[in-house]
Structures are given as C-alpha cells and as structure tokens.
Chain A
Amino acid sequence: MLNRKKIQDLMTEPGCATNQAKSEKERKKGCGKQLVPGAAAGGCAFDGAKIALQPITDVVHLVHGPIACEGNSWDTRNTGSSGPELYRRGFTTDMTNLDIVSGGEKKLYKAIRQAINKHNPPAVFVYQTCVTALIGDDIVAVCRAATERMGVPVIPVEAPGFVGSKNLGNRLAGEALIDYVIGTREPDDAGPTDINILGEYNVAGEMDIVRALLERLGIRLRTAITGDARYNDVAAAHTARANMVVCSQALVTLARKMKERWGIPYFEGSFYGISDTSEALRAIASMLIERGADPALMDRTEALIAEEEAKTWARMEPYRARLAGKRVLLYTGGVKSWSVIHALQEMGMEVVGSSVRKSTEADKQKALERLGGDEDKLVDAIAPKDMYAMFKEGRADIMLSGGRSQFVALKAKTPWLDINQERHHQYAGYDGMVTLVQQMDLALSNPIWEQVRRPAPWEVEE
C-alpha cells in the first residue's frame, strides 16, 4: 500500500498558507476533509494526479487499472501543446477479471514495453488505481525493472483514487516529479533568467500569452509544471532561478522541496486579472535580480507593466458601458478569485457571489476586502438547487464557472461562461482579461435570452 507518511506530510504541508493559519493542533489533523457519501462532488486522487501530469506532452501516460479510469476520461481536458501530441492518447492496461485474479504486474510490464516500442517516448508515467493497489500490484518495482531493462525512465505515480480527493492527487503527482524526474538532467543552456511556473496546465493554450510577456522581458520559461511541458525540460527544472506557484494549493509542497533541495526561491502568484499579472511579473523580476540577474530587469518590467495596463484598460473601456451594473456569480475553484473580482468591478459589474472552495486564507481575505466585507458573498459551495433559484429570481445576470454547473445556469435561461479546464478561450495575462470581458459581453448581449425567456403565446395571462 501507499506510503502513509507521505500523504500525512502532504496534508500538513508547512508551506501552505491555509495550514500556517491553523493552530498547532488543527495543523496536525491535516487538511484531508472526509468525503460525504451520497453528497460528494469532484474527482479522486488518480484524477488529480492525471490532471497535474498529463500536460507533459511528449510522454506516454499509462493507466494501470480497469477500463473506467482511462476509458471514461481520456482526451477530455483541453490542455494545449505547441508540439507533441502523444499525451492526448489514452493508454491503459484495461484490467479484466482474469487479469485481476492473476495479478497485473506482468501485464503492466508488457504494456510498458509495447508502448515504448510503438511510440518511442522519452519517458512513461504509470498511474496506480484503486483496483491494482487493492490486489497489491507493486508498480514501483515494475517501473524500476522496466527502467533498467528498457533504458527509458518509467515513473510510478502512486495516487489510487481511494486515497483522497483530486487535490491530494495533484500533490502526489508533485511527489512523483520530485522523487523521479526533476534534477535528473543537467541542461547545457541554464541561464540567469530561467524560471518555472508550477501548477499551470496550459488550458486552451493560454501559456502562449504568458510566455510572450516573459520573453519581452528577456525571461525564459524553463518549463511549466506541467503545461505544454517536455519531459527533458521538467527533468532540468532544478536549474531554474525562481519558481512561481499558481493554483497554490496543488503544488506548493513541490515548490518547497525544490527550495530545500536546490535553493530555488518561490512565490505564489497568478496570471488571472490585470493587477495580479503585474504583481506576478514584478515578483519574478525581483527574485531573479536577487539571484544575480541584471537589476535593469526591474525597470524593463515596470515599463512593460505601465504600457500593458494602460493598453488593456483602454481596450476594455468600450465594454464598460455595456457591462456596468451587470451582476456576476463567480463559481470556480483554482483561479484566484479576488484579482478577477477586481477587474470585473473596475468594469462596473457587481460580483454577487464568489466561491472560495480552493482558495487560501490570504486569498479569502483579499476577496473579502474586494467584496466590501460581505461574508455572505463568499461561498464554499452552492447547492445546484440554490444556484438555480438565484438565477430564476434574477439575482445574477451571468455565471462564470466550470462545465459541471453549466446546465444549472442554462436551464434557468441565464448566460454562462466556461472558465475551467474545458474552456476554449485564453483568459491569462493582460490579453486574457480583455478576452474574458469580450466573452462576457457576447454572452450577455446574445439575442437569444430575450427570446427564450418570453413565455409561449398560450402561457400569457390576459
């Protein structure tokens, strides 16, 4: 079975702001919330591990388990690649009843060999699942043997679904990277302005926006962990001079361990929202300067920020009149809500509610400030029924959320915008904020709303 100690450590991560805010006793309890049977939502630890690692584009991701784990989920996330497409293929050992009776280690070994022979990848990631963990398949041993005999790194990812939530799976994925991948390759081109971005998955290919901003400052993105990443870049991630952690609850342990092992400083930031983007760029610049980069970098950064902010607000100006007074329900997990709240408020919109399910305490505080201290507007989770009522009663004009709650809004004949991993628009950075505003305007101003809300002729009371 899994290393309990490892999970315990992840649950009491000292680098996590939420944990820091807790009392000593609370902290020891760990952050694993017990899932409520019959009232749970969200993915399992395997799901989380897969989300965190699958964006590595040039490797084979092989799921060791029965068909549901991969057959029901492959190629459904909209993470982009600027090159290899191998990561989109679904690989599984498809364990059937006979395999389970006789044990799956041999089948896994053969599957690894077949995948390597066919696709010639720089590495294979092998994912443990509930059933194969239960029958005691030792994937670490199989991966070790495969690595030795096939000459290709085969990395075990031990995050079977039943160990916990999606978020824990994200963290276990980070553990796999620190244990087996990062630091295994010494690049010949390490430079003074190399950085990594942790917890960025290149949804809708939006890293293009971030990369372009960094390039204008002469900063090189060694790799994201793991958006649009190549295996060899992740293996060399330890040579970066600074780490930025986005989606902080997922990979902060990885950041802390990279700091301890290789002295790479890190900060938590976000590229969602105008002010956050600027703050992130400043933080990157100052960290790099501290570690020996040319101090002129800060001047260039400030110049770029001033230019981009002015340009962005100017581009958003035409929408202000159209969006002013509209009420938004922001229902999302990973994205740092407060910065987006700021931008929406700048557009004259009213944020009637914002979920803080996956936000840190500091984020909650900032969001609360933005919402004028109204705690009622900060919600953990809204039951679909209550959400539906909000729309029916006209308390919100538009919802920004993930695909799962999409139909609650649409069935209540309310505009909806996808801001989660299945979306098709890039919302990061300065340009992304303009896109978000444009998309909101398109959704709100669509002529269908007036038509579909009009009652049928025979329903009109005289």
Chain B
Amino acid sequence: MALIVSHGHSVTSNPLKLSAPLGASMAFMGMDGTMPLLHGSQGCTAFALVMLVRHFREAIPLQTTAMNEVSTILGGMDQVEAALLNIAKRTKPKIIGLISTALTETRGEDMKGDLKLILARNPELADIKVIPVSAPDFTGSLETGWGKAVTAIINALAEPASARAQECNRINILPGVHLTPGDIEHLVELVEEFGLKANVLPDLSGSVDGHVPDHFIPTTLGGATVENARALGRAKLTIAIGEHMRISAETLQERTGVPYVLFDRLTGLEASDRLMVCLSTAAGKPVPAKIRRARSQLIDAMLDGHFYFGGRKFAIAGEPDFLWSWAKLINDMGGELAAAITSVHAAHLTQLPCQQVIIGDFQDMEDQILEAGGADLVISNTNARLSCQSLGIPHFRAGFPVYDRLGGAHRVHVGYRGTRDLIFQLANVLIEHPGHDHGPVHQPQQTTEHDHVATPALG
C-alpha cells in the first residue's frame, strides 16, 4: 500500500506533468485524415507541436485558433469559425479535433454551443466531423487529455449496432497513451492469432509508426477511420488498457452495449496471462502454440533476469498508468521502488508496492532518491536527464517525450514477447552498472558564486 501525497510546493521545478490538450492532440493523431485544432493562443499549439515532432520524428498536423488579446476579451467564436473554414479549405480533413485550452476555459467559453451555431451556418463543414473536447491545461495531465479525447470521439461517432450487424469475432481495443505504436501493432497480432479481428481506437500504429508515404498528406496519415469509430458497436467485447481509459470504455458500453474488460496493464507474466485467457474465452479457442511458446520464453527470461533486479533500487517518474505498469514490472522482478513520482492523482496508485507516491516533479524525484540513499536506475522520459546527470544514475528512457533516443515508437512492452524483451533491455543496463552498494550518490552542485548560504526549500 502506498500513500499518495502532493509535493506541496508552490514552485514546480523541472516539471513532469504535461498538458491535457497535448494528450488530447495525441489521441487525434491516432485518427485517420485528422487535423487537431487547439483553441488557444498560438503558443499552445507551437509547444505541443514541437514536442510531438521531436518525439515521433514525424511531420505532425496541429493547428491553432490563434487567440489574441481582443478575442480573449470578446470571445473566441469567430476564431473557431475562421479556423475551421481555413482548415476545411486547405487540408480537407475527415475529422477536426477541436480542443479547448486553459485560456479559453478560464474565460468561460461555451465552445460546444458556439460550434453548433458555426456548423449550422456553414454548409461547407457538413462533411467534416468536428469533435469538441474540453481539456483545459489546469486540470489533469497527458493521460487525462488523451482519455477525454477518446471519450469525445466515442460520443461523437460510435453507434449502437443492430443484432445482425454484430460480429462475434470482433474486438475493440482502447489503448492508453502509454502504449506505443509498436505495442498496438503487437497487440493486434496477438488478437489475430486467436482468429479475432481488432478495431483499435485511437490507432497510433497507423499514423506515427514511421512509415514513409509516397505523397504529401497535410492531415494525419493513417489511424482509425470514421468508419472504424462508427463500427465500435459491432464488437462483442472492448479491451481497454490503463485506468485512464475506464471512462472511455464505460461510455462506449453505455452508447453501444458492448461490454468491456479493463486491463490495468499488459506488461508482465500475470498480466499477459489474463489477456490470453480473455482472448481465448472471447474466441472460444485454446491459446495457440506460438503464444504458449512465447510464455515459456518469458519465464526463461525471468529466470535469467531476476539476478540483476533483486535488491536493486529503481526510481520511476511518469503519468499514473505509465508509473503503474513499470512499477509493477519492477516489483514482479524483485526490484525495489526507491521513488515513485507521478503527475496527477490516481486512486489505483495506492496499490503500488512502495511507501508513497508523490504527485510532483523531477526535483521531487531527486529528493526522494537522495532520501532513499540512491537508486540504480531511473525509468522516465527524456526530461529526467538533468536529474540523472546530476545524480550520476543511469537513465532508461521510456514514456513521452523521448527525443534523445531512437526507436521509442517501435519498442514493445506488452504480452509475453514484449515483457521478455523489456526484461533483457533493463537487465543489460543493470549489468552494465552493477552498483555494488548504495553509497553516497553525487550531491547536486550547489551554486557557489554568491555569498549567502542556501537554505532548504520551504513549505
């Protein structure tokens, strides 16, 4: 059992949290022929865009309503209308994801109401699905925004299916933002091994998986289609991955009657077993020999790998479901959690095998590591690099954003095979950094240029 505590500082130092509109934009990246549109000033889009470009190493479609001082006072409806018409004319998307930001929500804009009026008076927008998402930056984080966008897409597009249209071999998959395009690809393969068909929404593996199209596409270049979203009601079961997908899965069930199973994670032996049982039951077929073989390989990997995890200390910082998935894997392998830092409150994190989970930033991670007398490995995104450099601790990059390593989009974390490879990757880093004891770690450098003595942070 872990206690969830907020770091309680007024100043956030080296932020871990990312904005909800960024998460919502990412969800729309997994929809085909889409242009996400942030309703805010143009910096909201520019920052999100740069981060997505650097992480995925792809051209990213993302637009802005370019709110200015006047429209901030008078209301942004005209900006929304102009933006929608401009996008419709220039890029001809199938979907526009209209995402609010802290700016427009603080001034109390009725974006959904405005949108109705705009759509009613502009017939040229009739062929485009404009999906409004309320995702202000001041509430939640990356996973929050992703979840809200997926729910909005379901609300806008998913339809209940007639009994005749139901397909008994069809499964919906609602992946969380912590799953990579590689994860989704592998998950679909697994589903197909059972003779089932997968309908993934949103599907990053179709758009930002690094393929090279042979002509220029100004919108997203793949992913779940409008038809995919409409057909969600035809499946016999929905598999949602990550607690932040619960509301989306429930919404889908309410709208279409398709029941859901929520997996807290798909990494690890026990978690993968649960997935296989679920798929096997759904398909009415035994687990295929190929997958049984993969399970056996994972067991071997755990046998070979556990020597390097036992007694070692890990610091993990990331979004709640990212933290959950990695922390459980480390625990499965006999490692110890020296620091668990997350961006927003999530009730299920009380179940983590550590003393406390801190809602905080990378400064908190550093402080926790020092308090724990050091750590052997930090698992987090690229933004942990300053902390890792100053503490002299190896840094295993995972999550979002990772822009100083290649191949993140293709790394597989799910199922027997994904877990097997992950154990090898982690074990290899641990082998390279044996760290026989947890002696004094490097203290972060104090500024010495000024005379007065630094005092510890207050409050």
Interface residues in chain A, defined as those with a beta carbon under 8 Å from any beta carbon in chain B: 1-2, 34-47, 58, 62, 65-76, 84-86, 88-97, 99-100, 107-108, 110-115, 117-122, 130-131, 134-135, 160-166, 384-385, 388-389, 392, 403-404, 406-408, 411-413, 422
Contact = CB atoms under 8 A, between A and B. Distances in A.
Interface stretch (B62-70, B253-261, B350-358): B62-70
Contacts of A38: 37, 63-66, 82-87, 90
Given A39-B86, A92-B15, A117-B456, 7 more contacts: A38-B66, A68-B21, A72-B22, A73-B50, A114-B459, A117-B454, A404-B50
Contacts of B12: 67, 70-71, 90-94
B11 A40 contact: no
B18 A71 contact: yes
Give the top 9 A-B pairs by smallest Cβ distance, nearest first. Answer: A44-B43, A38-B86, A38-B83, A68-B19, A110-B10, A111-B11, A37-B83, A161-B41, A388-B216
A300 B12 CA distance: 51
Contact of B15 (A37, A94, A121, A411): A94
Contact of B17 (A47, A94, A122, A385): A94
A204 B58 CA distance: 23
A47 B49 CA distance: 13
Contacts of B44: 44, 68, 161
B22 A68 contact: yes
Given A66-B102, A93-B11, A384 B59 contact: yes
Given A43-B43, A107-B10, A66 B59 contact: no
A134 B103 contact: yes
B41 A114 contact: no
Interface stretch (B136-144, B198-206, B271-279, B371-379): B136-144
B281 interface: no
Contacts of A62: 11
A314 B447 CA distance: 45
Given A91-B11, A94-B12, A67 B17 contact: yes
A8 B215 CA distance: 44
Contacts of A96: 138-139
A39 B101 contact: no
B94 interface: no
B138 A66 contact: yes
B72 A37 contact: no
A69 B40 CA distance: 12
B46 interface: yes
A114 B447 contact: no
B47 A69 contact: yes
Contacts of B14: 74-75, 89-90
A404 B85 CA distance: 24
Contacts of A89: 13-14, 386
A46 B454 contact: no
Contacts of B57: 407
Interface in B31-67: 37, 40-51, 53-54, 57-59, 63-67
Contacts of A45: 43
A408 B59 contact: yes
A130 B40 contact: yes
Given A47-B43, A131-B138, A161-B42, A118 B212 contact: no
Contacts of B90: 38-39
Max chain B CB contacts within 10 Å: which of A42, A44, A403?
A: A44
7 contacts: A44-B41, A71-B12, A71-B15, A93-B12, A161-B44, A384-B216, A392-B215
A164 B450 contact: no
Contacts of B101: 68
Interface of B: 9-19, 21-22, 37, 40-51, 53-54, 57-59, 63-69, 71-72, 79-80, 82-87, 90, 101-103, 106-107, 136-139, 141, 212-213, 215-216, 218, 383, 386, 445-447, 449-450, 452, 454-459
A37 B79 contact: yes
Contacts of B218: 384-385
A360 to B, nearest CB: 23
Contacts of A130: 40-41, 67, 72, 102-103
A114 B458 CA distance: 6
B46 A44 contact: yes
A346 B106 CA distance: 55
A84 B69 CA distance: 36
Nearest to A230: B449
Contacts of B17: 67, 71, 94
Contacts of A119: 447, 454
A35 B42 contact: yes
Contacts of A403: 50, 53-54
A72 B54 contact: no
Contacts of A131: 102-103, 106, 137-138
Contacts of A58: 447, 449
Contacts of A118: 13, 454, 456-457
A384 B64 CA distance: 17
B458 A407 contact: no
Contacts of A384: 59, 216, 218
A72 to B, nearest CB: 4
A43 B15 contact: no
A122 B449 CA distance: 9
A88 B18 CA distance: 17
A120 B43 contact: no
A134 to B, nearest CB: 5
Contacts of A388: 215-216
Max chain B CB contacts within 10 Å: which of A71, A75, A131, A166?
A: A71
B335 to A, nearest CB: 28
Nearest to A65: B102
Contacts of B41: 44, 130, 160-162
B82 A36 contact: yes
A102 B458 CA distance: 21
A404 B50 CA distance: 7
A40 B87 CA distance: 10
A411 B41 CA distance: 29
B404 to A, nearest CB: 11
B11 A389 contact: no
A73 to B, nearest CB: 4
B136 A67 contact: no
Contacts of B447: 58, 84, 86, 119-121
A73 B47 contact: yes
Nearest to B382: A75
B132 to A, nearest CB: 15
Given A74-B14, A89-B386, A118-B457, A411 B46 contact: no
Nearest to B387: A89
Given A42-B42, A44-B42, A115 B13 contact: yes
Contacts of A408: 59, 216
A459 to B, nearest CB: 10
Given A37-B65, A38-B87, A115-B11, A67 B458 contact: no
B392 to A, nearest CB: 15
A164 B68 CA distance: 7
A43 B137 CA distance: 17
A73 B458 contact: no
Contact of A385 (B72, B138, B216): B216
A413 B22 CA distance: 29
Max chain B CB contacts within 10 Å: which of A68, A89, A92?
A: A68
A38 B45 CA distance: 11
Contacts of A73: 47, 50-51
A162 B213 contact: no
A110 B235 CA distance: 53
Nearest to B86: A38
A114 B450 contact: no
